[in-house]
Chains A and B, each alone.
Chain A
Amino acid sequence: MGFENFVKLMKSYFGVEAEEYPQNHTAKTYLFKIKPEYIREVAKLLKENGFDFFHTLAPVDYSPKGRGLELNYFFENVEERIWILIKTEIPLDNPEIDSLHDIYPSLEACEREEWEKFGIFFKGHPRLKPLLLDDTLQGRWVLRKSYIPEPHRK
């Protein structure tokens, strides 16, 4: 089965165990915490093991808590109905991570959005250009905790 195979491979390749993630309201989810440099290899493994539906990419800025940017990737194996959450953390002063747009094309737009709002530079992304935000907000990384909207209010 895709999921068991994936857990085995993750253990042998990267030495990470699957953790239960009960916080997902909807479905059975397993959590893997990995180092950011492995993200491409993990994504390839996921794709090979039937986790072909990408749901969402949710970065969280933990800088006030003394941590960096946490990236949450949600993947689903539609046939087995198992979700996998990949958590990885990158430093805020050098937010770089490999782009997964060629493995999961649905991530292209999500990465573009998060680049625009968090300033995470996705290496190898073909079109990191403004998507949603106004020109005046470009480069301000509006979703980081360091951005306070009050002074910018008209």
Chain B
Amino acid sequence: MDWGWILFKTLVFPGLTFLLLVIFATFYLERKLVADMHGRTGPYYVGPYGLLQTVADIFKILQKEVIIHREADKLLFLVVPAVAFFMVALVAAFIPYSETLWIVSTPYDLVISLALLTSLPAIFLFAGWVSKSKYPFIGGIRVINQLISGEIPLWLAGLSVALWYGTFNYVEIVQKFDLIGFLVNLVGFVIFLVAILIVADRPPFDIPEAEQEIVYGFLTEYTGVGYLLLAGAKFLEIFVLAAMTVTLFLGGFKGPFLPGWVWFLIKIFTVYYLAFAIRASTPRIRLDQLIKFTWNILVPLALLNIVFILVIKAL
């Protein structure tokens, strides 16, 4: 075993440094793409194409004083963002960027990723709870609402892929990917896309962070490093979920001519673009409407999809 190579993978690519870059890139891309749909320019002055604007913003956030509510639990208040960040970063370790470029690969990749993602809302609820403030508290409770509506379609759609390919391992799933697999899993793909928007609190399902209703949800009381870690965790979550979508449904690193990781990033960009376009065009729905939507439409559809895949596989 080459320890140097493992260390490089963990710390540089596709590890920590790359993930930080991903946060920067997601932030920048979101601003630029949404601005384009608004008819604006977006970041422009700082650095070439405004690329350094995000850097400036992040350093601005880092300079801010860390304010802790006097009734808040100080230790937990500071620990929760770090925990959230590392939990998402852990999921990122399973993503295969090419046939050999991954940090961890086990026979149970998919299940572990889904389990880690499902335990995230509990952390966010905790972030709201330990803030000892009203808006974060409501935000935290709303995260649970998000959990009961989003995670089940996510699991069902994700597992339907595993059913079809007969494996939980990401690399094997990608290797077995072909046109038939794509077509069979098309319904699952749509369900998974909607579910990742719900799980990552993206508009139009950004109910736990609904600015016009509850300010910033569980993030309201956080400043400085804590805010950066939590917001970074949210951005990473989008990246991880997009990466999972690409791996499960779009053939991951597979593609002609270009190296695997380039294909991978191109596909992720497509999913990003979709998410940002939805953000720029769709107003937020209400929390009870979300539950109705998921439990009346999304979950039955996901169950039917599993039955459908079982039938196709038996044929």
Q: Are A and B in contact, CB atoms below 8 Å, in the complex?
A: no
